[in-house]
Structure formats: C-alpha cells, structure tokens
Chain A
Amino acid sequence: MTHLLPLALRSAWNRRYSLGLTLLAIVLSVTLLLGIERMREAARTGFGQAVSGTDLIVGARSSPIQLVLYAVFRMGEATQNMSWASVEKLAAHPGVAWSIPISLGDSHLGYPVVGTTPDYFEHFRHGDRRPLAFAEGRPFAGLFDAVLGAEVAERLGYRLGDRVTLSHGMGGFAGAEHDDKPFTVVGILARTGTPVDRGVHIGLEAMEAIHLDWQGGAPVPGFSIPPELVAKFDLKPKAVTALLLGLHSRAGVFAMQRAIADNPDEALMAVLPGVALAQLWETLAVVERALLAISALVVAVGFAGLVAVVLAGLGERRRELAILRANGARPRDVFALLALEGCAVTIAGALLGTLALSGLTLAVGPWIEAHYGLALALALPTAAELRLLGLVVAAGTLVSLVPGWRAYRMSLADGLTPRV
C-alpha cells in the first residue's frame, strides 16, 4: 500500500479540480447532515426550555399535555378554568415561593393575549433559567397597558406608545372586537426564542375589564361600559386558565403535586413541566424522523455525485491505469488506488464538513438563536454525531469500491494496451 500512496497523491493532485468539486459536494452533504442534527438537538432542547424554573403547572383537571400546550405554548383552548379562590389558596401555601396566574382566550391579530400579573416578568424563567428582559419600556402598571413579546412587536411594527385593540377568542369573528377599550404598548420584551415572544401581555384586571360588558362570548346588546368607568367595577378575576408555581424547595414538588390533586374544593391537576414537555416532544417524533431522512437523502446524493465523477473520470484515466499496469501495477493495485482515493475524499469531506459547520455556527449561530430561539453551541461532535460521521465514512468507502471494481475489470480487459 505504501508504494501506492505517493502515486495516489500525485494522481489526485493532477485531477484536483474535479476531485475538489466532489469533495465540495461531500462537505456540503456532511455540513447539512450535521447541521440538521444539531438543529434537531437544539429544537429539542429549546422546546424543553420553553419554560424553566417552574416546578408545577396547575390547571383544571384535564390531560397534562393539553395543560402544557396552552399554559406554555398558548395553543389550543382551555375547556375549563380554575377558580380564583384556588389561585389565592395556592399562592398563600407556605411551600410556594412565587406564583404566576395565566389567563388566555383573547388574541391580537393571531397572537395570543396573556392575562397575568407583574410577577410574570419577575419570576418567569426560560432556557437556562434566564429571566425575561425588557428590550424597551417597563411592565404593565396601568389598567390598559400592554407588554408585547419580541416577535409581536417586530412583525407588526409596534413601538412604545402605540395603541392595540384585542379580539375576543382567536379572532376572525365580526363584532368580536374589544375595540372600545384599546391598550397602550408600555413595554417590549427581549427575544427569548420561546412562545413568550408571541404573547401580548396584559393584567388580569384588564382581562376582566374588557369582558365586563360581555356575556357568553359576545357583547351584550345595548350595554356598553366606557373605559373610564370600568375602574368603578370589581375587577378581581373570577377564574384563570393556569397557574405556574415555583416552590421554595424542589424536594416538596411531589407532595405538592399530590396535595393539589387531592384538593377537595375543586378538581385540579398539577403537572411537572419537564415530564409533560418530554411527552409532548414524543408526539413530534415523526418530524424528527423526517428531518433525519432528509439528511440521509442529502448524503446519498453527495455520494451519487462522488461515484458519478469518479466513474466519468475513469475513461480519461484508462491510459494512466494501463501504463501503471505495464509497469508492474497489479489489478488489485489499481483497485486499491481508486478505493483509497474515494475513502480519503470521504474522510476529508467528513472532517471539512465538521469544520465548516463549526465555522457556520460561529458566524450565524447568534443570529439563529436571536431569530429562531435555536441555541447552536460550538461543540465537539457528540457521540451520536460521531456515529453519523462514521456511517458517512463507511458508506463513502463502500461506494468508492464501485469505481474501484470497474477500474479493476477494465485493467484486466485492457491488459497492457488501453483501448482508448
């Protein structure tokens, strides 16, 4: 083999442009494969970090996944609320460090309206226990103040001081607008890459206020309470959709969960966010598999390119191989020469692809994290990625045997005089 190596190198250098293109195809395949794999991991992590630091999510008794869907992702609609009495009782429990009530149901141009308390901005955590930060402005204080998530502000082009009106339900029904009580934007949150970015946050009292003159999902005809008068009414909320709880000690979480489930006054349920999020992610497994299948196809296309380029170049190399053969190269040397080249190109492609991905991560990672909430860390390949790379190299070596075999047959048939 050692006597072939210098020859293989010189020969490869002689064909550096076509080989370079092949290498490029493999580098791109590998970059894409690893990139998708990293994105998938980042998506899974990001998904799991949509909420963090919250020990329990409490809501009316239903399915845990549903509760997480609307309490964390603001998707779907709560069929039942929990009473304000239960909220006050839990908030006062000695084991509870903080609590964030969340009331959903309204929307603004498709973005969910989140009724909550200023505690939300103080205690809510996402990602790696990161608190919410204000890009501009401050938490809501007045009744008709609103705080926008980063995506809402950016997509709809809102600035501080702009006025927004909310729609009842998820919108789309004529006459189901709360246009008599507009809100003022007083704060815009920094991007988190979580569902918080899509929220329009208002106080629970404001949630009550805009529904004062409503009944059964529609304004009461001929009855309207102007905004300046709502303060005269009792704006204490009667019910909320969910309650996020932070405990003094994580050790108490299971006892607390049982206590809530056994609550005699109301049928409640407490969910550990991590567990429910993991369950929810499982339902997305098909998407994950689709992504992996796509990257496998990309790699297959890369190898098809490798084989095509090498096979196409074989005609040109026929004379070279015949000369080698006349000067002592055995057919198996010719075979080894081609297989060696394919294997080397694949390995180089795998290495360069990994490097290229690292470069890309450095270059656009922060941008991707800011815009899509996918935290792509610059890291050495994980065991799973190394396994993938190993598969790529093995597959590449296997497919490079095809041109090798062809050259072997050809050099046997040509003998010493190539039929060019």
Chain B
Amino acid sequence: MAEALIELRDLVFRWPGPAGVCLDIPEFSVAAGEQVFLHGESGGGKSTLLNLLAGVLVPASGRLRVLGHDLPALGAAARDRFRVDHVGLIFQQFNLIPYLSVLDNVLLPTRFSKRRRERAGDARASAATLLGHLDLPENLWRRDATQLSVGQQQRVAAARALIGRPELVIADEPTSALDAARQAAFLDLLGRECAAAGATLLFVSHDQRLAAHFGRRVAMADINRVTMATA
C-alpha cells in the first residue's frame, strides 16, 4: 500500500491559556483517493484538526504528515505554500468574495499558486468544465458571487476547491446551509468530482444523516482522546 495521504501519530495540540489540550490523537490516517466522513459534535476539535491539516496551526508534539510533507517541520511560509498548492477548502458559508464574479472566485487559487495554475492547464476552460459539472449554467458565471443562491454559492466553492486538481479537498460543514434534497445532490456532485479529479476528500460534519454517502466514517470521539468534557 502506498504511503497514506494523511498520517497522524501521537498528535497533541493545545490552545494557549487555561483551556489546555484540545486534541490528543494517537493514530489517524487517510489513504490517497479515500472519501472520509469525519463526524463530531461542535467543540469537539474538528475545526482545529482541519486547521492542522491545512497547515494553519502547528501541533505541540507528534507526527503530522500530509502528502509526505512533515508540516510541523515547515516554516509558516512553506505551510502557506503547501496549502495553496495541495489543499482545496470548502466552508460552511461565506466562501465567496462578494466583489468577484463567479468565474473569478473559482480562479482564485490559480492566482496564488503556480502549481494549481499549471495543473489546471487552461485555467478558464478548466473552471468552465468544473462549473458545468456542478450544474452552474454559463449565464451565472459573470455574475457577482452574492447574486447566487446559497446552494449555488456552495457549488462554486466546490469548483474552486477542485480547480488545479489539489490532492486533498477538505470540506467543513459545506451543506449545513442547504435543505435536505440539495444536501444529497451537493454530496453526490462533490463525491463524483473528487473521484474524477483523483482528490482525497475529508468531509467534516456534525450531521450523522450525511454519513451514508461515504465509504468510510470516522467519529471524532473515536480518534481524539480528549473528551468534550475536558476540552
């Protein structure tokens, strides 16, 4: 088996101050191409874990390897570069820059990352393909992002996370602002596109009902030794 895409061992993270230890994960790994549903209550350290994987935060101790990069060993600038080159992010809401058009929002990572730009080939064509696959008709592309419905905005965010084929897509509660029917549709589209792009998907949510769409389900409580009572 190839090296795991995400590899955590004996990872400890503390917030400064009396809150103390927030994450203590003995072992967690994700293989390349997997689509993982990470479930946990709010306050359970999900967001902290995502920030660690994206290289925004650094653990106090332990092993944290993503795509073979030893993130804690990298400097802040190198972690920034790692993130934009290899990770696509989708958040719960407010994903889009209001003054940019849909197309420009999708192209944003290619502005900052040479690798994403090169991997996208013709960036505009690639963005158009993604938007098309995500059911966003062409007449919307030139509009300001804020003119779209919330569901459309989330699909734009998905297209942006996928452009330039990053190896890892992290989605943090991207469907919580959608109704049930649209949630299912969004998850199908996202799963299909990640598979098509060969991206590994880490999907984080507190909503158990979404778990059915994923091959692998992980509960935050199972991997994190710090319980919510102490966190």
Contacts and interface: CB of A to CB of B under 8 A. Distances in A.
A323 B54 contact: no
Given A327-B109, A333-B112, A416-B56, A320 B97 contact: yes
B160 interface: yes
B99 to A, nearest CB: 4
B83 A328 contact: yes
A415 B89 contact: no
A327 B77 contact: no
A64 B162 CA distance: 86
Nearest to B104: A10
Contact of B97 (A323, A330, A416, A417): A323
Nearest to B160: A327
A7 B51 contact: no
B99 A10 contact: yes
A371 B113 CA distance: 63
Contacts of B109: 327-328
A404 interface: no
B100 to A, nearest CB: 6
A13 B111 contact: no
Interface in A327-369: 327-333
B63 to A, nearest CB: 21
Interface string B49-60: 011001011000
Contacts of A329: 112
Interface in B68-115: 76-77, 80-81, 83-84, 89, 91, 94-100, 104, 108-109, 111-113
Nearest to A14: B99
B89 A416 contact: yes
B87 to A, nearest CB: 9
Interface residues of A, number: 22
A328 B113 contact: yes
B56 A415 contact: yes
B interface residue count range (under 10 / 10 to 19 / 20 to 34 / 35 or more)? 20 to 34
B29 interface: no
B94 A319 contact: yes
A415 B81 CA distance: 14
Contact of A415 (B57, B99, B108, B160): B57
Nearest to A322: B94
Nearest to B90: A326
A232 interface: no
Interface string A286-323: 00000000000000000000000000000000011001
Contacts of B91: 326, 416-417
A327 B91 CA distance: 11
Contacts of A263: none
A282 B100 CA distance: 59
A45 interface: no
A69 B99 CA distance: 65
Contacts of A155: none
Interface in A387-420: 415-418
Interface string A51-74: 000000000000000000000000
A323 B111 CA distance: 13
B129 interface: no
Contacts of A13: 99
Contact of B99 (A11, A330, A331): A11
B47 interface: yes
A387 B89 CA distance: 48
Contacts of A323: 94-97
Nearest to B93: A319
Given A14-B99, A417-B91, A7 B111 contact: yes
Given A415-B51, A416-B51, A328 B94 contact: no
- Most central of B51, B91, B96, B97 by chain A CB within 10 Å: B97
Interface in B160-193: 160
A418 B83 CA distance: 17
13 contacts: A3-B112, A10-B104, A14-B99, A327-B89, A327-B112, A328-B84, A329-B112, A331-B80, A333-B112, A415-B56, A416-B50, A416-B91, A417-B47
Given A3-B111, A418-B94, 4 more contacts: A10-B100, A14-B99, A415-B57, A416-B54
Interface of B: 47, 50-51, 54, 56-57, 76-77, 80-81, 83-84, 89, 91, 94-100, 104, 108-109, 111-113, 116, 160
* Interchain residue pairs A-B with the least CB separation, the first 4: A328-B112, A328-B84, A14-B99, A415-B56
